Structure formats: structure tokens, C-alpha cells
Amino acid sequence: MQYKFTSIIYVAISVLALSGCNKYLDVAPKSSIPEEEMFSSETGFRQALTGVYSTIASRALYGDNLSMGFVSALAQNYNTSGTGTTPLFVPTRNYDYSSEQVLAYTKQIWSAGYNGIAAANNIIKFADLNKRILTEEVYQQVLGEAFALRAFLHFELLRMFAPSYSQGANTTAIPYKTAVDHYSVKPSTVEQVLTFALEDLNKAESLLIKSDPIINNTLDRRYKMNYYAVKGIQARIYLYAGNTSDAYKAAKEVVDSGKFPFVSKSSVAAAAGTKDRLFRQELIFAIRNRELKTWAEDQYFTFRASIDYRLTRPDADLRNIYEYNTVGQDDIRYRNLFEDNQGFKFPSKFWQTSTTTIDSLRLDQTVPVVRMSEMRYIIAETAPTAQEALDVLNTVRLARTVLALPSNANNLDRNFIQNEITKEYQKEMYAEGQLFFYYKRLNRNTVPFTPANLVFDPKFYVLPVPQDELEFNPNY
């Protein structure tokens, strides 16, 4: 991994250009800025953080590949059919990891991820060097967000390019990069990467608990790496590492804060221009990309002609996923987050239909990264008692207008509860990218809707490290 640059914003812009996506904020300097000038003011540090968020929001990462696109195709969320144009994600759905398509996606993800990490490292470096120019509160916010972003990006790359903790804790994984330089870094093991990420998140937590405005008021910080986003990612990593006790505590702190209430049914069922397709008030961390329409709506989730489907799923499949014929006939997710055309359903949660142009009021241009419902699922999976797990699951089900699970001896079996959690991930995280990693964490030996001519192999959970990295880094 070679990183040599003169300004953090220059790197962020370069990454976005390479990934084919414009950044979502109007911070667009026309030329590079020397680091000493860039980090000479609070504004410069804020712009540097904006660069990292823009990288995460690019198509290479959560703007597309790690959310609705590539990783959702790996989870078999779509039935990619049609003859009018080349169907989308066919090699991806077939787990053809030697195909040009898959290799291109993995290279984009790797490059953008490590460029974002390099950017975060530069912020950390200069926050300490230039601490005197920042107020204590701003210093804590900037440094806390940077540590958390570094941990978050490393974990995303780990989930993609290394075995799960349960299948290879001591397996060589990815480099954990903590400095901005041109030197290659020896890859750490899966367990080491998780340890380093949690150390960074603990630093972020200690800084943000003293400075993040979200703690003491209702300031909307869901588009920043806020304190509760840090706790949510901690919960995600603890669970990935098999530490159920700490996963439970972290997730419960987020839920118990009361800052991410369930969306109202009326908001979800509203007219197109004001419809809350993403359950926005439930989002703990999200990204915004103003160009989302150009691929989410115009390329992926649309109906061109009867022979040219995009990313669809037959209604019969969705009725099975959402248990329409038993407990889920009124599920607000099935009823409001898909559009029908000739028996095929399109996910519409990323349709861009807002009638306002004011960012703070828009309900679109957004991609979820950490949801409140995921925190409840983590609590259900790690709860000390099966009764608590069942109660937490029912809280989500009732909020989605799904019949509650009865409290009886059969339903208090842990295997039963895990199966119900799986169903909820399939319903809640549709087209958001988290489902593939859920399957991977549990090392499931089947993935629903895998092409009929293909036998799923758990080795498909590990994507290939790009060849450029293998050639550059002699430590592999």
C-alpha cells in the first residue's frame, strides 16, 4: 500500500474520481493544498474529515459496492435476468472470483478503503501536532471521529478479504495501517485486526463521550461518526469476535439511549415525495451521496422493458422472505419498500423522490450503515436469557406490523431464536449489504437464492486480495 500525497482533500477527490462517483458535499478545492496549510485551522480539519466521509460515500464503498450493489448481489438479494442489456452482477452471483467484474469491484473496495484509512491517519497525526489551534472540544471531536473511521474502514476490509473470526482467528488477514507513509505493512491476523480496531474505537469512545453534541441534545449527527455509531460498530465487532457479553452491553447502550425511535407507520406509507423509505430516524450512522439517483434509480432499481429487468426479485420469493402467508401480510417493509411491475419487485428504498432540496429535510440521498434494528438483533442474539431475546425480537416485529412470536417453551430455544434473527436480517437489511456478512459470521453453508446450477461453498465468503497489493507488499 503506497500513499504519498500533499493534502487530504486531494486524496479524497482522487479516490472518488477513480471510483466513478462525485462527492456528496460541496467542498471542492480546485488544486491540492499543502498539509501544513490544510491543518492550520479548524476549518481545515473539518474539510479533511469531510474527505473521509466522501470516500465512504463513494460508489467504491457504501455509496454502492458495500451496500446496494456488489455485496448485496453476493447475498443473492437479486434475480438478475433479462436480455435487453447485459444482466447485472451475473459473475458476482455465481461467485466467480476470477472474473473481471469481481476483480474490478474488489480492487475498488480495497483502494478506496485504504485511501480513506490514510486520510484518517493524516488527521490523527496533525490533530496532535497542531492541537494548539483547536479548542479542546473540537480536538476531541476530530480525533474521536478519525480513530473511529480508521477502525470502521479496517473492519469493512477485514470482513471482505479475510476469513471470519470463527473460521480463522489466527489466519493472516490484512494490514492494519496506522501511519501515512510509502512503506508496506505486514498483514495482521484476523484476531489482531479486531483487537486494533477495538482499541481505536475505545479511544474514539473516550473522546466523543466528552465532546459529541449528540449525547446531550438532539442534534442530528447520523451522517458523522457519532458516539452512538462508535458503540454500534463496537457491538458489531464484539459479536464478530464471539464476545457476546460486550456486544450485548454496547448494543444495549445504543438502544437504551432512546435517540433512535422506531419510524411511524404513517411516515413509511406516505406519498412518494415525503415517504420515509429508509426509516431515517432509526439510522445511527449513514452516508449521503447526492448522485445516488444516477445508479440506484436509473441503473439498478428500475423497469426498462419486459425483456430488460434490472435488480429484481419475483414477488413469490419476497412473499416467502417476508412470510406473507403466515405472520407478515401487513409487514410495512414488504408493503412499502418494493414496487411491482408484471410480477417482479424492485427495491424502492433508494428511489430519489424527495420534494425538498434542503439536505436536513431530505429523506433520500442516503445509505444506511448502522441501524437501530441491528442493535436490537445483536441484543437478541447475545441476551442472557432466551425470554429477553424473544421480547426484543417481538419489539421489532410489532414495530414492523408483524405478528409477535408467542412466548412458549419451543420459542425459547436458542436455535429457534437464531433462526428468527436470520429471518429478520433478510427482511430488514435487504439491498443494504449487511446480510452477506451476517451469513459469513455464522459460516452458513447455504445462501438462499444461490443460482440453481451452483453449490454454495463457504470459501466464497473470502474475497481475493487484489493482485496489485500482493505484488507490492512482500509480507504476504
Within 10 A of 446 (CB to CB), how many other CB atoms are there?
9
Each of the 476 residues of the chain gets a pLDDT tens digit; together they read 444 333 434 344 333 333 333 332 333 333 467 888 899 999 999 999 999 999 999 999 999 999 999 999 999 999 875 555 567 899 999 999 999 999 999 999 999 999 999 999 999 999 999 999 999 999 999 999 999 999 999 999 999 999 999 999 999 999 999 998 877 899 999 999 999 999 999 999 999 999 999 999 877 899 999 999 999 999 999 999 999 999 999 999 999 999 999 999 999 999 988 999 999 999 999 999 999 999 998 888 876 554 455 788 999 999 999 999 999 999 999 999 999 877 788 899 999 888 888 887 888 899 999 999 999 999 999 999 999 999 999 999 999 999 999 988 777 899 999 999 999 999 999 999 999 999 999 999 999 999 999 999 999 999 999 999 999 998 88
Looking at residue 7, its pLDDT comes to: 40
Write the DSSP assignment of 208-234 as a string of letters: HTTT-TTTTS----TTS--HHHHHHHH
Looking at residue 103, its pLDDT comes to: 97
Within its chain, how far is the Cα of 157 from the centroid?
A: 11
| CB 408 within 8 Å of CB 436 | no
pTM, 2 dp: 0.92
Write the DSSP assignment of 126-183 as a string of letters: HHHHTGGGS-HHHHHHHHHHHHHHHHHHHHHHHHHHS--HHHHTTSB------S-SS-
What cell does 403 get? 405478528
**For the domain bounded by 8-296+346-456, which CATH number is listed?**
1.25.40.390
**DSSP helix/strand/coil, 294:** helix
Domain positions in the chain are: 8-296+346-456
Looking at residue 303, its pLDDT comes to: 65
- Alpha-carbon gap, residue 220 to 214, rounded angstroms: 7
**DSSP helix/strand/coil, 339:** strand
- Alpha-carbon gap, residue 302 to 292, rounded angstroms: 14
Looking at residue 276, its pLDDT comes to: 95
Looking at residue 121, its pLDDT comes to: 98
How crowded is the C-beta side of 64, counted as CA atoms within 13 Å? 26
**180-206 burial string, b = 16+ CB within 10 Å, else e?**
beeebeebbbbebbbebbbebbebbbe
Measure the CA dihedral 156/162/167/170, to 10°. Answer: -110
